[in-house]
Amino acid sequence: MNDHVNFLLCLRTLILKLYKNKTDLDVMILKEYVLTNSKYFTGTPETIRFIDELFYLCEDFKRENIKSFYIICYDLYVSILDNTIMDIYFLGEQESFVEFKKKISKKNANFIFHDIKTYSFDKNVIKKELSESKLSIFAYDYSGSTVFLKGGIGKPFSCHLHENAIKPRELSIWYDFLSHQYNRFIDQKFNTVIFGSSYAFHALTDINSIHSTSLSIPGLDITNAHDLYFKTNTINPINKTILCFGFYDLYKEISKGKSIVYTYAKESMNKFNDRHYNSIKKTEINDSNDTLMHKFNTESIDVFIESIYINQRNISECSCHSTESIAEKLSTMQRDINTEKFLNADKHYLDGLGIVAQHNKYKKHADSFKLNCERIMDIKNAAENNKNHVYMIIPPVSVAYIENLDEQIKNECKRFLSSIESKHFHIFDFSADKDFNYTEFTDGHHLNINGAIKFREKLYSAGVLSNREL
C-alpha cells in the first residue's frame, strides 16, 4: 500500500470517527491530519470549502454542525477520487471484462485486463503495480476470484466482484412471487412457513406446495426474514417455522450491498412492504442527505467505491419488456428452480472456490453479525413464549465451499447457534454433509432439484418437515 492510498483510507477513517463520536477532540485530530498531509490536497473548490469549514468548526465547535460538515467532507472525498486517475485491473474471462467495462462511470480510468484462461499474468507484477497505483480497483469474475484464496497479489484500494448478466425477469418476478406466496399463506393457513435466502429459494420453494409455503428470495437477509416472521405470525400464528440461511448470511445486510441481487432484493422487499404492511421499516433510506451519508458511512470502502463508479444495474435491463402474465412468469420461475442442470466436477469445484472467496469477505461485517444474532434471538424468544417451533437450517454446500469457508465465520456462527438451541428453537447443520455430490448442485453452493429432493427427505426424516412433499 503506497502513501496516497494510505492517506485516502486514513482520511475516511477520521471523517467517519468524527461523525460517529461528534467530539471536539475528533475535530482537532482531523485538523492535525489535514495539516500534516497538506501535499495531498489541491486547490479545488471542494478542498477550499472543506478546510474553511474544518477550521471554523475547530474554533467554534457545535455538535449540531457535524451533519452539514459531513456533507462537505463527502464532497471533498469524491472530488479527490474524481481527480485521481484510477487503475482498474480485471482478472477473469474476456466476455466478463467486456461487460464489466460498460458498468464503469469513472472518466479517467486506466483498464488492465488479465485473462484467467491463458494465465498470462504474473502475481509479482500485479503486486508491484498495485503498490504504485494512487487509486486502484481490482475487479474479477467468479473464475478470477479463486486467485484470492491463494493470495499474493497485494492490496488494492478497492475490490469488486463482477457478476455476469442476470436476466431481468428472474429478478423482477420476486415481488410478484412474494405477493403470491403471502396471499396463499393468508388463504390456506399453512402449518409450516419457510423464510430464507437463495438457499431456501432453490431448495425449499414450490409455488404449488400443499403443506408449506416459502417466503424466500435470493438476497433476502435475516433482518427482513425477522420482519416477515413477526408480521406473518400476527396474521396467522405459525406452528412451525424454518429459517434457511448459510453461515455467511449471518454477516450479511442487503441494505449495505450493491450487487444486482441485493439491489433487487431490497426493491422487492420495499415494494412488498408498501403493498402489504407499511409499518415494516424500509431497507432504503429516502432522505437525500441521509442517503449520501449512508453511502459514505458503510463498513466497506469497496461498497462506497461501487456506489460512485460502478453501475450495478445490468446494462441489458432496458430491453426487458415481457408480455407474459404473472402466472406465466411464476411458472417459468418454478421450472428454473426445478432444473436438473449441474456443472462438471472440475467446474463445480472451481465455482465453489470462487463463491466462497467472495463470502469470506463478509467476516469484516462484525456489526451485521451482531445485529443478525439479535434478530435470531428475537425469533427464538418469540418461539419460546408462543410454544411454537423454529428450525434454523444451515443447508448443504459443495465440498470446495465448506472446506475453504473462513474459519472465523464457521466458528463464530457455530458457537452462537449452539448456544441458543432450546426446546422450541432447533439447529440443523447440513453444511458439511458429504451425501451430496456435484450432480446435485446447479453451481458451487445451490442445490438443483435432485439435491433439493434429497435435502427435503433429510428434513422430513429429522422431523423438520411434516411431509416429504412441500
Question: Residue range 241-261: average pLDDT?
Answer: 88
Q: Which residue has the higher pLDDT, 281 or 207?
A: 207
Cα distances (Å, whole numbers) of residue 266 to 171, 191, 199, 224, 308: 11, 27, 17, 9, 19
Strand 158-161 and strand 136-140: the pairing is parallel
pLDDT at site 276 = 76
pLDDT at site 315 = 41
pLDDT at site 317 = 45
pLDDT at site 160 = 83
Tell me: the pLDDT tens digits for 290-349?
Answer: 555 666 666 578 778 887 888 765 444 444 445 678 888 899 899 999 999 999 998 899
User: If you ran DSSP here, which 8-state letter would residue 447 be given?
Assistant: B
Question: Residue range 437-453: average pLDDT?
Answer: 95
pLDDT at site 283 = 41
- Res. 188: pLDDT tops 90: no
Strand 425-429 and strand 389-394: the pairing is parallel
Q: What is the pTM of this model?
A: 0.75
Tell me: the pLDDT tens digits for 152-171?
Answer: 677 788 888 887 655 545 55
Tell me: the pLDDT tens digits for 263-275?
Answer: 788 888 988 888 8
- Res. 282: pLDDT tops 80: no
Tell me: the pLDDT tens digits for 352-364?
Answer: 988 898 899 888 8
Lowest mean pLDDT among 226-230, 293-297, 402-406: 293-297
Percent above pLDDT 90 for the chain? 51
Q: State the average pLDDT for the chain.
A: 86
- Report which listed range, 48-52, 103-107, 384-388, 391-395, is most confident: 391-395
- Res. 418: pLDDT tops 90: yes
Spatial separation of the C-alpha atoms in residues 426 and 241, rounded to whole Å:
10
Q: Which residue has the higher pLDDT, 147 or 270?
A: 270
Tell me: the pLDDT tens digits for 18-57?
Answer: 988 899 999 999 999 999 999 989 888 999 999 999 999 9
Q: Convert 271-306 to b/e letters by CB count within 10 Å (16 or more is b).
A: ebbeebeeebeebeeeeeeeebbebbbbebebbbbb
- Report which listed range, 30-44, 282-296, 397-411, is most confident: 397-411
CB atoms within 10 A of CB 311: 13
All three cell numbers of 151, joined, read 493470495
User: If you ran DSSP here, which 8-state letter would residue 396 be given?
Assistant: -
Question: Residue range 392-398: average pLDDT?
Answer: 97
244: phi then psi, degrees, rounded to nearest 5: -120, 100
pLDDT at site 93 = 87
Question: Residue range 371-385: average pLDDT?
Answer: 96
Spatial separation of the C-alpha atoms in residues 417 and 369, rounded to whole Å:
12
Residues 6+ apart with CB under 8 A from 298: 256, 304, 307
pLDDT at site 29 = 95
Spatial separation of the C-alpha atoms in residues 18 and 66, rounded to whole Å:
8
CA pseudo-torsion sign 66, 68, 72, 75: positive
Closest by CA position to 428, among listed 415, 441, 436, 417: 417
Spatial separation of the C-alpha atoms in residues 33 and 288, rounded to whole Å:
29
Spatial separation of the C-alpha atoms in residues 224 and 226, rounded to whole Å:
5
Q: Classify burial at 150, counting beta carbons within 10 Å of its beta carbon; exposed 0-12, middle 13-18, buried 19 or more.
A: exposed
Give me the helix-helix angle, 260-276 and 168-188, nearest 10°.
Answer: 30
pLDDT at site 406 = 94
- Greatest alpha-carbon span in the chain: 71
User: If you ran DSSP here, which 8-state letter would residue 137 be given?
Assistant: E
Cα distances (Å, whole numbers) of residue 260 to 151, 161, 305, 445, 452: 26, 11, 15, 18, 25
Percent above pLDDT 70 for the chain? 88
